[in-house]
Chains A and B, each alone.
Chain A
Amino acid sequence: NAGVTQTPKFRILKIGQSMTLQCTQDMNHNYMYWYRQDPGMGLKLIYYSVGAGITDKGEVPNGYNVSRSTTEDFPLRLELAAPSQTSVYFCASSNRGVTEKLFFGSGTQLSVL
């Protein structure tokens, strides 16, 4: 199994540009998440989804959008990039219940200049 596949690994954007971070999982997980990790800080939840067609905001959703048209895919869209969005982004998926386990993508290092 590939697990969670996240692309790209690195990206540099200019202020005001837009981009989409792609995330795909092959474990048939209902739950998918986007986090950002800033230096010296814990992971912060941007958006999450509990199934195809259902998404909701996390702690830091401003400047981002998501969609979940299939169980497998959960892309994150950055519109009008700002320097404050410079961060490392992680996509993750999980099952729930007594065997709950998180699976993370390899991360995207994004710089907005």
Chain B
Amino acid sequence: KNEVEQSPQNLTAQEGEFITINCSYSVGISALHWLQQHPGGGIVSLFMLSSGKKKHGRLIATINIQEKHSSLHITASHPRDSAVYICAVRRNYGGSQGNLIFGKGTKLSVKP
């Protein structure tokens, strides 16, 4: 079983819909990142969470440390939101300071 699982793998939505992407993990963490990978391949950081909730524009990210679960929400979705959304966690133990564990990503397609 992967240490970071994302669901769904693929998601198709109509413009304007509210979207939720989920990330579950099985290790103790110190931080969780949400990233966006554009169709052209570039990767952009959206959020870093260690607790609670963050909001930026139409994007909202939440984390529940006890349940080992995070969600990324997109309100009023738009075709330009079409991308792969990646969850990554940093373990809070172990000697490897650099080791983020990445999910496989959720491919979102928003139709006009």
- The answer to whether residues A103 and B45 also contact, given A42-B103, A42-B105, A98-B50 and a CB cut-off of 8 A, is yes
CB of B100 within 8 A of chain A? yes
A92 to B45, CA, bound (A): 11
- The answer to whether residues A45 and B41 also contact, given A40-B104, A100-B48, A101-B48 and a CB cut-off of 8 A, is no
Q: Which of A31, A42, A98, A99 contacts B98 (CB 8 A)?
A: A31
Query: Which residues of chain A (5-48) have a CB below 8 Å from chain B?
Result: 31, 33, 40-45, 48
Measured CB to CB, the nearest residue on chain A to B102 is A42
Taking the closest CB of chain B, its distance from the CB of A52, in whole angstroms, is 15
Q: Which residues of B have CB within 8 Å of A107?
A: 41-43
Check B41–A58 contact: CB distance below 8 A. no
Majority secondary structure of chain B interface residues (helix, strand, loop or mixed) = strand
- The answer to whether residues A45 and B48 also contact, given A90-B43, A106-B41 and a CB cut-off of 8 A, is no
Q: Which residues of A have CB within 8 Å of B104?
A: 40-42
Check B31–A100 contact: CB distance below 8 A. yes
B residues apposed to A, CB below 8 Å? 2, 4, 31, 33, 35, 41-45, 48, 50, 86, 88, 96-105
User: 7 tightest A-B contacts by CB?
Assistant: A48-B98, A42-B102, A104-B43, A43-B102, A102-B45, A42-B104, A107-B41
Known: A56-B98, A109-B41. 4 other contacts (CB 8 A): A43-B100, A45-B99, A58-B98, A58-B99
